[in-house]
A and B are shown apart, each in its own frame.
Chain A
Amino acid sequence: MAIKTEPFVLNIGPVHPSTHGVFRMRATLDGEVVLDIEPVIGYLHRGIEKLAEQRTFTGFIPLTDRLDYISSMSNNMAYCMAVEKLAGVKVPERAQYLRVIIAEMQRIANHLIANGSFLNDCGAYFTPFLYMFREREKVVDLFEMLSGQRLTYNFMRIGGLSQDIPDEFLPALRRFLDKMPAFIDEYDRLLKENEVLLARTRGVGIITAEKALNCSISGPVLRSTGYSWDLRKADPYLLYDRFNFDVPVGMQGDCYDRFRVRMEEMRQSVRIIEQALKDLPLKGAVRADVPQRLHPPKGEAYAHIESPKGELGFHVVSDNSIAPYRVHIRPTSLLNLTALREMVRGWKVADLIVIFGSIDICLGEVDR
């Protein structure tokens, strides 16, 4: 016999170990069952879009680092590509190859953190996370070689890269690539058929492809539904049409699929970097001639990339001055949260945390 209960409101966040930052949910619960949630965001709203209007086109690049701070390089790149499109700058081929390499390394680093913190939310408190942090440190070391920073790189420039890579970068990357597949195998051995993980994530938080498209969801969350939509294939930017790689898709769009898609994407990233390294021109400019005070012609441009979290785009409006008239950031993480309500309704509170963790958001990008 069902007991009649009253729904009540539980406040989760903004400071909570499982909210990946300062996300807050007002959950309406019936006992342990989630009836509805209302995301409350803005606790990290720094007004980056407004700050962009007070800076030069180049001066805005450091701020893009702090959007999705787990994958700063991708943010840099997306913004630079938008301005390049606006100003009609042609990026040298060597710089494009290096951008592909860097973007894929960033994807590996991001997915390591995404999966690590997702497993954290599943209850494996910090053990897999620290395993994955071990490999992330290797990527961070490589980025430190390039830019001198560990987290906020500020490495891309309009028209290419800020400087050429140091001599020791390529051998170090080679060593990393040789080891990385073995590490991914290790995670798979530990986690792929782990009974507890399967019980917690299989069939949990299912979303269909139609629903995901309707909610503007992109990236691994969309691909986990079995829908193959990857901007690297659908709208190739840089040199992605030259490389062979597969787009991993899931089966039914549950949390386990999202986890698996990220794991497989790391393998594909290694594959792309291998090919790019083979073709990388050994000499050549890494930066086009761009004036110090760039003023692109009046107009607007939108450039999007497949960032590790999904479609990341910058809509830049110029009025022919040295500062952007308006910069809009298409926030991947925010739009991936749109369907969170549908995904969690009817599940238990513990599943709410798992589903939320599987989406992989970064609050810097949600709130901007």
Chain B
Amino acid sequence: MEVVPDYIYPDREIDRAEGQVINDLKANSQPVIPDSDAWLDAELKQNILLTSVDTMIDWAQRSSLWTAICFPACCAFEFIAANGPRFDLSRFGMEILRASPRQADLMITAGTLTWKMAPNVKRIYEQMAEPKWVIAMGACAISGGIFASGYNVVPGYNHIIPVDVYVPGCPPRPEGLIYGIQMLQKKIAKKSLFHKEKA
């Protein structure tokens, strides 16, 4: 191999383009995105019977949640601990971590979201195949936590992507996370496949 004489400093154009993307996102994502599944409770109050196809599909989806890797900060270690030998998340059929978002249907957002990171998280979410869910893990993911007043911190993932379940704590204990996942599984169980056609 030839030795390259000096470092290759990449083009500044990439930096400018990336900075522009961040600035655009920051300007356009101030309102909180509502949970897209907020209709669930209202629908159940109307007492609509779920078909057996729904039950089957929901059972399959909730029993094999695969997680996309999106671990910016501290909460990641509590997630790994939950995955680890002691708390053993695989009891609930979801120990598999997927590096590729295309193979995942659950995003556990473990850690503070900064504006610089926000376009990447948005892109990961968009790359995940439907149906997909998001668990906001920890205080930073819910509201920015103790960093909420920082100049580079997004006050909650729900400014960027819709969130299904919020797990509080800084960081939440593994038991708390497992409870949050069970809540999500209950939520999936209520979901009706034919909702969108009806609405």
Q: Which residues of A come within 8 Å of B, CB atoms? A: 7, 9, 14-17, 21-22, 26, 28, 30, 33, 35-36, 38, 42-48, 50-51, 54, 62-63, 66, 69-70, 113, 130, 133-134, 137, 140, 150-152, 341, 345-346, 363-364
Q: Let me know if B86 and A134 touch, CB within 8 A.
A: yes
A residues within 8 A CB of B124?
A: 15
Can you pick out 16 interface pairs between chain A and chain B where the beta carbons lie within 8 Å of each other? Answer: A15-B124, A33-B1, A36-B7, A38-B9, A42-B114, A44-B72, A46-B112, A46-B150, A46-B152, A47-B147, A62-B146, A70-B77, A134-B86, A140-B81, A152-B170, A364-B73
Q: Let me know if A50 and B151 touch, CB within 8 A.
A: yes
Encode contact with A along B165-192: 1 for CB under 8 Å, 0 otherwise.
Answer: 0000011010000000000000000000
B residues within 8 A CB of A14?
A: 117, 120
Given contacts A9-B10, A133-B85, contact A152 B77 (CB under 8 A): no
B residues within 8 A CB of A36?
A: 4, 7-8
Interface bin, chain B: 35 or more
Question: Which of A15, A26, A30 sits near B10, CB closer than 8 Å?
Answer: A26
Closest chain-A Cβ to B164's Cβ sits at a distance in Å of: 20
A residues within 8 A CB of B85?
A: 130, 133-134, 137
> Given A46-B114, A46-B153, A150-B171, list of 18 further CB < 8 A pairs?
A15-B120, A17-B69, A17-B97, A38-B10, A44-B111, A47-B150, A48-B150, A62-B146, A63-B146, A66-B73, A113-B77, A137-B84, A150-B78, A150-B173, A152-B170, A152-B171, A346-B1, A363-B73
**In the complex, number of A-B residue pairs with CB atoms less than 8 Å apart:** 113
Instruction: State in angstroms the CA–CA spacing of A150 and B175 once bound together.
Output: 12
Closest chain-A Cβ to B104's Cβ sits at a distance in Å of: 12
Closest chain-B Cβ to A22's Cβ sits at a distance in Å of: 5
Closest chain-A Cβ to B91's Cβ sits at a distance in Å of: 15
B116 at the interface (CB under 8 A from A): yes
A residues within 8 A CB of B69?
A: 15-17
A residues within 8 A CB of B80?
A: 133
Encode contact with A along B58-98: 1 for CB under 8 Å, 0 otherwise.
Answer: 00000000000111111011101100111000000000010
